[in-house]
Structures are given as C-alpha cells and as structure tokens.
Structure 1
Amino acid sequence: MDERVKIVFGLLGGLAMFLYGMNSMSDALQKAAGEKMKRILGFLTKNPLMGALAGALVTAVLQSSSATTVMVIGFVSAGLMSLPQAISVIFGANIGTTMTAQLMAFKISNYIYPIIFIGFIMNFVFKKEKIRNVGMVIFSFGLLFEGIEVMGGVMKPLASSAIFVDLMGKVSEIPVLGVVLGAVMTLVVQSSSATIAVLQNFASQPGPDGIHSVIGLAGAIPILFGDNIGTTITALLASIGQSKNAKRTAIAHSTFNITGTILFMFLIRPLAAFVQWISPKGDELDIISRQIANAHTTFNVACTLIWLPLIPVMVKIVKFIIRGEDKKNSDGFVAKYLDDKAMSQPAAAIYMAAKEISRLSVHAGKMIGAMKNAIEKRNITDIRDKYVDEHDKVKELQNIIVDFITKLISSGNLTEKQAEQAAGLMVVSNNIERIADRCDEVDGLYKKILDNGQLLSDAAIADLTACMDMTEKLFGESMNAIITGDSETPDKVAADKKKIRKLQRQAGKAHLARVKKNTCVRSLTADYSALLYSMDRMADNCISIAEEAIDDFTFDKLDIENMDSDSEVMVKAGAQA
C-alpha cells in the first residue's frame, strides 16, 4: 500500500477511535455523574465567578465544551437561565475543556491495553449499573489514548517530509495561517479535543535535526487558537431556531474565543515563555505535549479572568449583534421549557420536563378554581371561555410532554435512576391531565343541570363548593409534595383524602334527606351523585401524585430551584389552604 494512503487511513482510523472513545466516555461520565452535574449548574450560577466555576466543572465531567454549551443554550432558550448566567458558564466551559488536553499529555502508552481490559471486564461482567458506567469510562479512556497512539504512529513519516516541514515553518512565521489551519481542522472534525490531541502528537515528532519539535511551541500556539475558534461552530448551529438570548449565548462563545485570539496573537512569544516557565523541564520532544496543554489552559483562564468583570459589556455586544426581543407568545399550546436538542443530555431533559409539568399543574389548578366559582355562583357561562381555554392548554401541553418524555425514554441514554424519574414525571403528568378531565366532567354535568332549567338548592351548592374547596386544597398539597420535596405533605394529602371522602358521603346523604323533605328535586339525584363521584376521582388523582413523593420522587431532587411565579403560587396555595 502506498505510504501516503497508509498515513491517511491511519489518521482516519486513529481519529475514529479517539472520537468514539471520547463520546463514549462523555456518555458514561454523564450517566455516572449527570445528577451531580445538574446540581453544579443549579447552585453555582449565583454570580459570574461561580457561574464560570460551574461551567468548568460540568465540562470537566462531560469532557466536551460543546455539550455544555448546547445544554446551556437549551436552558437559556427555555428561560431557565439568564443571559449573563449563561455567558459566565460558557466562559467556564472553555476552561473545563482544557482538562482533556491535560489528560492527553500523560505518557501512558505502556498501560493502554491493561486499562482497556480492566474497563471491558467491569462493563461486561458486572451487573450493577454504576460499576458498568465506571467500566465504560475506563474502557473509553483507554480507547481514546489508543487512537492517539495510532495517529502518532502514522504521523512520524510526515515529520521528515520536506513539504510538511516547510508548511510548519510557514505556520511559525505567519501565525494567522496557524489560526486558519486550526479552525478548519476543528470545523471538519467537530471536536477541538480531537484536533488538539492531533496537535500534541504531531508536535511530539522530531524535526529535521532529530532533537527539536517539528513545529515547536510558538508554532503550535496559533493552531491552538484556531482550534478554540473552530469549536464554537457547534454552539452556533445549536442556536439555530432558538430564542434570541440562545443565539446571543452562542455568539458570546464565539466572541470570547475570537477576541482572546486577537489579543494573544500579539503575545505569542510571551505566552510561550510563560508556558515554558510553568511546565516541566526536559527535552522538548518529551515535554511539548504538556506545554501545549498548559498553553491551552493558560489561554482560556486568562481570557476568562479578562472577560468575567466585563460580562455586562459582552451582553451589550451580543445584544447589538442580535437586536430586539423575542415576540411574546401568548399561545398556551406551546411548550415553554422543552427542547428536543436536550435529548442527548438526559439530566437536562428531565429538568426541563419537570418545569413544564409544573406549568401544566398551574393550568389544571386554574380549571379547578374556575369550576368552583361556577358552581358557587350558579353561572357557568361567564367563566366558560376561560375554562375551555385552560382545558385546551392542559390537553395540548400534556400531549407535548408525553411525546417529549416518550422520546427521552426511547433514546436509550437514560440510567436506571433517570428512567425511574422519567416514569415518575409521566405518572404526575397523566394524573394532572385526568384531574382536568374530571373538571370537564363536572362542567358537563353542571351545564346539563342548568340547561334543563333546574337549580340545585343552596344547601347542595354549599356542599359541592365545600368539596371543591377540599379538592383544590388537595391538589395544591399534592403538587407541593412533588415540587418542594416536603416529606410531611404526603401524609397531609392522605389525611385530607379521608376528609373529602367523608364530606362527599355526608353531601350525598344530605341530598337524599332533602329529597325526602321535598327541598331538593329528586330527578337531580343521579347528576348530583355523578358530580360528587367526579370530585372523588379528582381526589384519587391527587393521591396518585402524592404517592410519587412517598416513593421518593420529587421535582426538588431534580434540582427545580427557580419555579416561575405561577408555580410558586400553586405551592403556597397548597400549603396555606
């Protein structure tokens, strides 16, 4: 086989192993630490410095700044994260992604196959999911290093090629050429980690003198800058079709790397000198991989420190580029928090689904309140338009939520715990929809009574209103148990369920007593009993929601920290009723 063909095939095969290993390791790390990752984002975005720390830690877990950026863009688009918060996380993500290059700098070629074997055994033999995930992390880690070794092996002939050596010399003399080369490489591969790994391997090859690197640190740094710029294309693509703030977040990512590159293009020699000073000492070929990793980290840390106090300036820049605000969409049929792009990030997708279900519960709660008012005032016409609108919102949102959760479960990306959480979300969502359907039954029965020109007695209205009061309280308490994780609330729900059932039995007996005294119409008995039965079924649905909390499933444990104002009203109503 021709030598050039061998080099191309070796590079492609090694790159494939590296990318597969990197993606597999990222997926396994996410399954092993996805919930902790969400807590990091939830608790560490209070100020820019903590936001940057959150971005760095999450990216270190995911081993991909692109994955973190895509996730943050989804949160911004859903309104779960503000633009300044997102920008600070993006800054941190650029630091976190440098950990990959630091790992690549370790010389572990003698231990690759034992690492792959140990990881395979842990993943293949053990049944416990956590151990299998750890095994996949170890196996993938070894595999990506094997890919690097393959690429390094086939690149050795290139180091002695006069054409290639001449090209590298031009890169050292014309830094802009290196930036363009690095950006194009990353655009093609869609992974800055992969192109930096290739750069580290190639830089470790000897030049014509057999002593010094074929490219040297000063020649590698511009390519490194280009790698950073090229990786921002993933964020820009992810922002297509998203909100204006999501687009601004992606542009902030690009602006961060482009401005940093422009600044440090004038400081390549000082940067190289600083990196050489902080890096281990020794022969250039032995330490240049670590020097490149340190240059990558230094560049991103320096850019982050420069930009953190200037986040308001960055916000103004991206708002100047993407002008205007998103049009307010008053259509309740559109999901506010769900984003299909989050399917590859299960913990983020579950977070979004829980937020949407909180929103669904608000509309169902409004339906209960509207029906109570209609019964109490003996007038269903005035509130019917509002009631029908809320009912339509619940039905449409429920369909969207079920479709989202179903796609999430069928994606195959969920751990056992995440699958249980997704199932719990489905149960809660289904019960909220059933409560809305029970309200619809009450509406139909009450409308039938009024359309027939019949009237319930004041005593009957009082009993029905009392039952609806208890139902409204029960629903608020059950959602409170799920949303806040209050361990005592499920017991309150169970106690109130007994009270409402007792109230319904008393209402039924009181109606029959009134019929006997001719103070209530006998022909209304069936419809009145059906009304009480529908309310009883609503109470059962509330119990089913609360039982999910009893089974240790709560939105609180899904890191739902910042509910919208309507959801807070729902929780407070349940607590105070």
Structure 2
Amino acid sequence: MGEAAMVSPTWTLLDLAGTVALLLWGVHMVQTGIQRAFGPGLRGLLGRALGNRVAAFFSGLGVTAVLQSSTATGLMVAGFAASGLVETVPALAVMLGANVGTTLIVQALSFDVSGVSSVAILVGVILFRRGTLGRTRDIGRFAIGLGLMLLALHQLLDLVTPYEDQPSLRMMLGAIATEPVLDVLVAAGLTWAAHSSVAVVLLVMSLAARGAVPPHAAYALVLGANLGSAINPVLEGAPGDDPALRRVPVGNLINRCIGVFAALLALEWIGPWLVTVEPDAARAVADFHTGFNLLLAAVFLPVLGPYARLLARLLPQRAETDDPYRVRYLDHSALAAPPAALAASAREALRMADVLEAMLAGTAASLAQPDRLRIAETRRMGEGVRRMGGAIRAYLAGIEPDAADEADERRLQQVLAFVGNLEAAADVLRHNVMTPSARRLKQGITLSVATRAEMAEVIRRLTEGLRLAAGILMSQDARLARQMVAEKDAFRALEQDATTDRLAALRGQREDASEGARLDLLREFARVHACLVAAAAYPALEDAGELLPSRLRAES
C-alpha cells in the first residue's frame, strides 16, 4: 500500500472494517463449532444444574466459557424458564454466571498468544478436511475460528500502529473518546449487531493497546459491550404475548443497565486507579471487563429472591387460554443446536398430525350425521393445522444454515415436507369437503346409506395412512413408505369405480345429487391421501434412494 493510500481515510476505514469482519467471523466459527459439537450436552448439563442459585451461577459460567456466547446461554435458560422447567431465581443466576463466563476468553487473549494462530488454523483445517465424524469436523471449525481470531487481533494491532498519528483515525476515534455515554451507546449497538460482546471487547482491547483510545473511553466501550450483550436475549427469546416469558432476559438487561449506570458514575475514579494497578492497557481492559461482571454478580446474586418477586410484579403471568393449537415444543433455546431444534419441530409436527386426525374424525361424523356446529368445528381445526404449520416453519427458519450439517439439512427438508403437506390435506378437508357439506345441509341434500358407509371406510383408511405417515416421519422406514405408496392404487381404483358408476347413472338418466357428491368426495379424499404420501413416504424413499426421478418412459 502506497503512502497516499496509507493516509487515505477511505483505506483506513476499509482496513479496519475488513479486520473487524475477520475477527467477527472467527468468533462466529468458534461459537458454531462448539455449539454443534457439544451444544446438546451442554444444554443438558445446564438443565441439570438449575437446582439452586450457586450451582446455576457456576453452570452458566462454565457453559458460556465453552460456548463463548452469553446470548446462546441466555436463549437456553430463557427457553427453560418459558417451558416452566426452572424458576426465575436460578435462571437469573445462570445469566450472571454467563456474563462472567464471556470474560474468560478475553482474559486469555489479553496475553500475546498470536504466535499460535497459524498452528490453530493448520490443525483446524486438518481436522475439518480429514475428520470422518461430525464432532471432529466441528472441533476443526472451532480451531480455525480461534486461529482467525488471533490472526485478526494481530493484524488489528499492526494496522493501528501506522495510523496512531494519522488525522483520519484520530478524528474518527476522537469523536467518541470524550463522551462516555456515547461510548456506551456505540459499543452497545455494535454488540447487538454483531451478536458478540467478546468480539467488541477484543476490538476495544486492541485499540487501547496501541493508544488509539484513552483508558476511560475504552472502559466505557466495554460497559457498552456488556449492555449490548443483554439486548439480543430480550429480542430473540421465546415468542408469545405472556409477559412472564420475558422475566429472565428483561431481568438480566435491567441489572446490567443498573451496573453500567453505577460504573459510569464511578468511572472517573476507577479509570486512574486501574491504570496504576495494571499499566498494560490491553490487560487493564480485560481486567475491567472481568471485574465489572464479577462485581455485578456479587451484588445481585444474594438479592435474586426479592429481585425475582419484583420482576413477577412487573411482568405478571397472563392467564392461560385454552388454545389447542398453541405450539408447545418449539424451544427457541434449542436453535443453537440444530439436531435438538429438529427434534422439537418433529415433535410439534406430530401434534399437528393429531389435530388432522381429529379433523378426519369430525369429517366422518359430519358426513354420517350432518350438523352445522360440527362442520364449523371441523373447519376451525383446519385453521389450527395451518397456524401450527406456520409456527413450525418460522421456528425452523431460525436455524442458521452454517450451523447445520448435511444430515441436518435433509431432516429439515423432511419436516418441512411433512408440515406443508399436512397443511394441504387440512385445506382440502376444510374447503373441498366441509364447505360442500355445509352447502348440502343448507339445501337439504343427504347422502345415501351406502355412500355414508363407503365414506366412513375411506376415512378410516385415511386415518391409518396418517398414522403411518407420522411413523415414517420418525423412523424413515422405507418398507413402511412403500406400503403407504402402494395404497394409492386403492384410492385411485375407488375414484375410477365411482366415475364409472356415475357415467352409468347419467346414461340411464338416474343421476342424483347424492351420486355426484360421492364422486366428489372420493376425489377429494384421494387428494388427501396423496398429500399424506408426499408428506412422509416420498421423502423417506428419496432418502433411501428408492424413488425414481420421473414416471415418464425414457425416450428411445
């Protein structure tokens, strides 16, 4: 880079932005590697240690020290609290421990360990490329990310050094160096956008090490990073209109706001004292970060009981509504571990199948003995199936693509196919079966005894097919899938027989509304069965390599 480029503000910003991006990507790879390799086990460990506040504090500290993401830990514990598996006090204790846990890697990287960056990347690439087990590849991802973090920090130090006396950098950093409140807001915004307080604190530490920002500004930026890390769990926690679901993330945000406010008031005295205790600017930033979180934990841990009661008054639990279509198993804290999230979505999809089975039962009852209230209730079930399907799709969209491996992606597509086709089957029943049934009831048209008996038998077979589809979703058994596909011939034969009978009735001029309704119903029920086959049987056969790409005969 020439002298003109070196003094250019544009090149300064581009160099800084690229190096910071490399640091963020390294942190991201470290977090995703650990979450994919050990996420479910760490989540189980966290769940078992929520008996009391002390154990919860240290479990939060340990899990976050491994995951390097207080946001991930916060989402886990918020999911536990939203599901009623943990009380507010131990959940808040976990968050205090998680905040301390994020400081440990900052402490480690405050020493000069940049020399191991190349070794970490080399080991990571070998594990990632040569590893045959998923966990080995994930550990390789972690090692690559760690190496990139160290490399980015080293480059950041080298980058800042030539620009220490450049007006462009001094002007850019000087704008925030004199206003502690502005420092806090800027760092909080960066942390919220980056989803990583670790990356922001490491950036501040690097700038402070070269004197690009004075100590008091660096400490204020660290306070902002701590504040910003508490924002994401509030925004990304378990959805719902019950304020009680927000107690843990909101409580964590409030105590950090209190801590940041108190620290800002004392910053005029803390800053000079810390500089005399620790002359190394980078180490001073790391020590301030750790000390702030330790002091916050020491203050709030003994008073979590009254604090939890205050949160209960501020965010009271909303009275439960009897909504059978409200999702139950979509734990948003599991999104960090794709296998756990996919298992939760499959469990919710089975509930969706239960609602569709109840809808089939309501359809059978409505055809056997038409009733306006029963028809309306059956149609409402169809709306419920669609609501549940939409919730499952939105949940699955929260899984980050780079956190899922190839097997996870296949399972994701299987669950989406199951959900989408169950929605389609419910729509057929709702619009093409129940709506004409309501019309026939209004017109006084009744089905013949033989037609009602035939429809009852068809719906029984559809119910068996739905149960078979649910079993295939969980087992991916190709033998069951072939059995289900073979049943399509039976439904096709029923529809052809009904078409022949109706044509004969038309030729004999004895066609009636009941005979026309029989063919329409069989046609719609065949469509329902086709949706069930596409929901589970076809994906299982495709995964087993037993599905032809086309039914068309190849051209000679």
**Change beyond 3 A, Cα 1:33–1:224:** closer
The alignment status of 1:110 with 2:115, answered yes or no, reads yes
Which of 21, 24, 47 is the equivalent residue of 1:22?
24
Q: Which residue of 2 aligns with 1:232?
A: 230
- Aligned partners of 2:128 and 2:137 also within 8 Å: yes
The alignment status of 1:368 with 2:367, answered yes or no, reads no
Question: Could you list the per-position Cα deviations for residues 169-211 of structure 1 after superposition, in whole angstroms to 9, with x for gaps in the alignment?
Answer: xx9xxxxx999697456325325324533565577679xxxxx
Shift of 1:428: 0.8
Which of 284, 301, 312 is the equivalent residue of 1:319?
312
State the alpha-carbon separation in 2 of the partners of residues 130 and 304 from structure 1.
34
- Aligned partners of 1:200 and 1:289 also within 8 Å: yes
Greater mean alpha carbon deviation, residues 324-333 or residues 64-73: 324-333
Shift of 1:432: 1.0
**Change beyond 3 A, Cα 1:265–1:452:** closer
Q: Which residue of 1 aligns with 2:69?
A: 64
- One-letter amino acid of the structure 1 residue matched with residue 253 of structure 2: S
SS of equivalent to 1:48: coil
- Aligned partners of 2:19 and 2:156 also within 8 Å: no
SS of equivalent to 2:445: coil
State the alpha-carbon separation in 1 of the partners of residues 334 and 45 from structure 2.
20
- Aligned partners of 1:55 and 1:68 also within 8 Å: yes
Greater mean alpha carbon deviation, residues 62-71 or residues 425-434: 62-71
Equivalent residue runs for 1:75-114 within 5 Å: 75=79, 84=88, 87-113=92-118
Q: Which residue of 2 aligns with 1:556?
A: none
Equivalent residue runs for 1:39-54 within 5 Å: 40-41=42-43, 44-46=46-48, 48=50
**Change beyond 3 A, Cα 1:226–1:342:** same
**Change beyond 3 A, Cα 1:498–1:44:** farther
SS of equivalent to 1:141: helix
Shift of 1:469: 3.9
- One-letter amino acid of the structure 1 residue matched with residue 249 of structure 2: A
The alignment status of 1:186 with 2:177, answered yes or no, reads no
Question: Could you list the per-position Cα deviations for residues 500-540 of structure 1 after superposition, in whole angstroms to 9, with x for gaps in the alignment?
Answer: 99899899999x99xxxxxxx98655644654565455455
- Aligned partners of 2:389 and 2:423 also within 8 Å: yes
Equivalent residue runs for 1:334-373 within 5 Å: 350=342, 353-354=345-346, 357-358=349-350, 360-373=352-365
State the alpha-carbon separation in 2 of the partners of residues 434 and 127 from structure 1.
39
SS of equivalent to 1:45: helix
State the alpha-carbon separation in 1 of the partners of residues 395 and 533 from structure 2.
25
Which of 468, 493, 511 is the equivalent residue of 2:459?
468
Q: Which residue of 1 aligns with 2:252?
A: 253
State the alpha-carbon separation in 2 of the partners of residues 408 and 455 from structure 1.
47
**Change beyond 3 A, Cα 1:339–1:550:** closer
Shift of 1:387: 1.5
State the alpha-carbon separation in 1 of the partners of residues 197 and 521 from structure 2.
63
State the alpha-carbon separation in 2 of the partners of residues 408 and 369 from structure 1.
34
Shift of 1:141: 2.6
Equivalent residue runs for 1:146-165 within 5 Å: 146-153=151-158, 154=160
- One-letter amino acid of the structure 2 residue matched with residue 232 of structure 1: A
Q: Which residue of 2 aligns with 1:389?
A: 380
Question: Could you list the per-position Cα deviations for residues 400-435 of structure 1 after superposition, in whole angstroms to 9, with x for gaps in the alignment?
Answer: 655775x66996765323322221121111221233
Shift of 1:370: 1.1
Shift of 1:379: 1.6
- Aligned partners of 1:434 and 1:541 also within 8 Å: yes
State the alpha-carbon separation in 2 of the partners of residues 403 and 227 from structure 1.
29
Q: Which runs of 5+ in 1 are unaligned?
A: 165-170, 172-176, 207-213, 276-282, 514-520, 554-577
- One-letter amino acid of the structure 2 residue matched with residue 189 of structure 1: L
- Aligned partners of 2:188 and 2:226 also within 8 Å: no
- Aligned partners of 1:65 and 1:94 also within 8 Å: yes
**Change beyond 3 A, Cα 1:487–1:42:** farther
Shift of 1:473: 4.8
Shift of 1:20: 3.3
How many residue pairs align between the two structures? 501
- Aligned partners of 1:13 and 1:147 also within 8 Å: no
- Aligned partners of 1:14 and 1:150 also within 8 Å: no
Shift of 1:388: 1.8
Greater mean alpha carbon deviation, residues 336-345 or residues 432-441: 336-345
**Change beyond 3 A, Cα 1:32–1:471:** farther
- Aligned partners of 2:327 and 2:388 also within 8 Å: yes
Question: Could you list the per-position Cα deviations for residues 109-161 of structure 1 after superposition, in whole angstroms to 9, with x for gaps in the alignment?
Answer: 333345456667887999999887666544443332233234445369979xx
- Aligned partners of 1:66 and 1:231 also within 8 Å: yes
Q: Which residue of 2 aligns with 1:562?
A: none
- One-letter amino acid of the structure 1 residue matched with residue 405 of structure 2: T
Shift of 1:44: 3.3
- Aligned partners of 1:179 and 1:225 also within 8 Å: no
- Aligned partners of 1:51 and 1:92 also within 8 Å: yes
**Change beyond 3 A, Cα 1:396–1:220:** closer
State the alpha-carbon separation in 2 of the partners of residues 392 and 509 from structure 1.
32
Shift of 1:30: 1.8
- Aligned partners of 2:247 and 2:311 also within 8 Å: yes
State the alpha-carbon separation in 2 of the partners of residues 327 and 263 from structure 1.
37
State the alpha-carbon separation in 1 of the partners of residues 387 and 291 from structure 2.
50
Question: Could you list the per-position Cα deviations for residues 470-505 of structure 1 after superposition, in whole angstroms to 9, with x for gaps in the alignment?
Answer: 5335434543664xx4689x8788879989998998
- What's the TM-score once normalised by structure 2's chain length? 0.64
- One-letter amino acid of the structure 2 residue matched with residue 317 of structure 1: L
**Change beyond 3 A, Cα 1:155–1:503:** closer
Shift of 1:453: 3.1
- One-letter amino acid of the structure 2 residue matched with residue 95 of structure 1: V
Question: Could you list the per-position Cα deviations for residues 36-79 of structure 1 after superposition, in whole angstroms to 9, with x for gaps in the alignment?
Answer: 42453356325525765665465445533245446766x48986
- Aligned partners of 1:357 and 1:429 also within 8 Å: yes
State the alpha-carbon separation in 2 of the partners of residues 188 and 506 from structure 1.
64
Backbone CA RMSD of aligned residues: 6.1
Q: Which residue of 2 aligns with 1:453?
A: 445
**Change beyond 3 A, Cα 1:546–1:239:** closer
- Aligned partners of 1:51 and 1:89 also within 8 Å: yes
